[in-house]
Amino acid sequence: MVEYNAENLPFAKAEVVRLMKELLPSNRWVTEKVKIEANLLLYKILKDITLKLAEEPFATINYAMFNEAAMKYDRLDEIEAEKTRIIRSIEKIKADCDVLAEAVERKFKQD
């Protein structure tokens, strides 16, 4: 396993930390491991997008191609909302089934 330090990270560590601190409350501290892993995650995302762009047959990569390649990252909020909606629907169906099962048990209860 490769040990990462500030010199061999894909992106400037200071920039990644600056962005994180910009969004975190001022009383929060970010551990070194989190700084490194955030940097590596950004690299993995960019690598994934770039590999999709590499499949394009054109010499020039345009904005539409980039948007297409990055779509799954842009739509994470939508996907999470859809997952929550589906889980709620399943829970409602399960509750309806439980009510029906109880009704059947009452109706066909043998004394």
**Residues 83-110: tens digit of each pLDDT:** 999 999 999 999 999 999 999 999 888 7
44 and 80 together in one domain: no
14 and 61 inside one domain: yes
pLDDT at 108: 87
Angle 55-59-65 from CA coordinates, rounded to 5° = 55
Question: For residue 2, what pLDDT is reported?
Answer: 63
Which regions in the chain score pLDDT beneath 70?
A: 1-6, 111
Contact 54, 66 (CB under 8 A): no
Q: Does residue 103 share a domain with residue 58?
A: no
Is residue 28 located within the same domain as residue 68?
A: yes
In a shared domain, residues 9 and 51: yes
How many of the other CB atoms lie within 10 Å of CB of 51? 10
* AA identity, residue 6: A
Whether the pTM exceeds 0.75: the reply is no
Looking at the structure, do residues 83 and 37 belong to the same domain, yes or no?
Answer: no
pLDDT score at 74: 87
CA dihedral 66, 51, 81, 27 (to 10 degrees): -90
Domain CATH for 48: 1.10.20.10
The total number of structural domains that make up the chain? 2
Residue 93 belongs to what domain range? Answer: 75-111
